Amino acid sequence: MRYLVEANASGHEVSYGDDTWTQRVCDGIRQLFDTDCEVFFVFNGTAANSLALASLSQSYHSVICHELAHVETDECGGPEFFSNGAKLLTARGRDNNGKLTPEAVEAVINRRSDIHFPKPKVVTLTQATEVGTVYTVDEIKAISAVAKRRNLRVHMDGARFANAVATLGCHPGDVTWRAGVDVLCFGGTKNGLPVGEAVVFFNRALAEDFAYRVKQAGQLASKMRFISAPWLGMLENDTWLRHARHANDMAQLLAARIRDVPGVSIMFETQANGVFAELPAFVIEALRARGWRFYTFIGAGGCRFMCAWDTRVETVERLAADIRELSAQAAVA
What is the residue-wise DSSP string for 53-113?
A: HHHH--TTEEEEEETT-HHHHSSTTHHHHHTTSPEEEEEP-STGGG---HHHHHHHHHT--
**Candidate segments 75-83, 170-178, 269-277, 325-333, binder of its own copies by CB under 8 A:** 75-83
N-to-C CA span, the chain: 48
Provide φ and ψ at 161, rounded to 5°. -60, -40
CB of 55: closest distance to its own copies in angstroms? 9
**Please, which residue, 119 or 178, has the CB nearer to its own copies?**
119
**Candidate segments 116-124, 128-136, 176-184, 247-255, binder of its own copies by CB under 8 A:** 116-124
CB of 200: closest distance to its own copies in angstroms? 17
Q: Is 295 in the site for its own copies (CB under 8 A)?
A: no
Q: How many residues bind its own copies (CB under 8 A)?
A: 61
**Candidate segments 29-37, 79-87, 177-185, 249-257, binder of its own copies by CB under 8 A:** 79-87
**Candidate segments 5-13, 32-40, 122-130, 138-146, binder of its own copies by CB under 8 A:** 5-13
Q: Is 60 in the site for its own copies (CB under 8 A)?
A: yes
CB of 266: closest distance to its own copies in angstroms? 23
* C-alpha to C-alpha distance for 177 and 37, rounded to whole angstroms: 9
The answer to whether the beta carbons of residues 184 and 200 sit under 8 Å apart is yes
Among 14, 281, 321, 331, contact with its own copies (rule: CB under 8 A)? 14
**Please, which residue, 75 or 106, has the CB nearer to its own copies?**
75
Tell me which residue of 83, 89, 80, 86 sits closest to 61, measured CA to CA. Answer: 86
What is the residue-wise DSSP string for 14-51?
A: --TT-SHHHHHHHHHHHHHHTS--EEEEESSHHHHHHH
Among 36, 95, 116, 333, contact with its own copies (rule: CB under 8 A)? 116
Q: Is 58 in the site for its own copies (CB under 8 A)?
A: yes
Residues of span 29-48 touching its own copies by CB under 8 A? 42-48
Residue 313 CB burial class (10 angstroms; 0-12, 13-18, ≥19)? exposed
What is the residue-wise DSSP string for 300-318?
A: TTEEEEE--TT--HHHHHH
Q: Which residues bind its own copies (CB under 8 A)?
A: 1, 4-5, 8, 12, 14, 16, 42-48, 50-51, 58-62, 73-78, 80-87, 115-119, 189, 194-195, 209, 211-223, 226-227, 293, 308
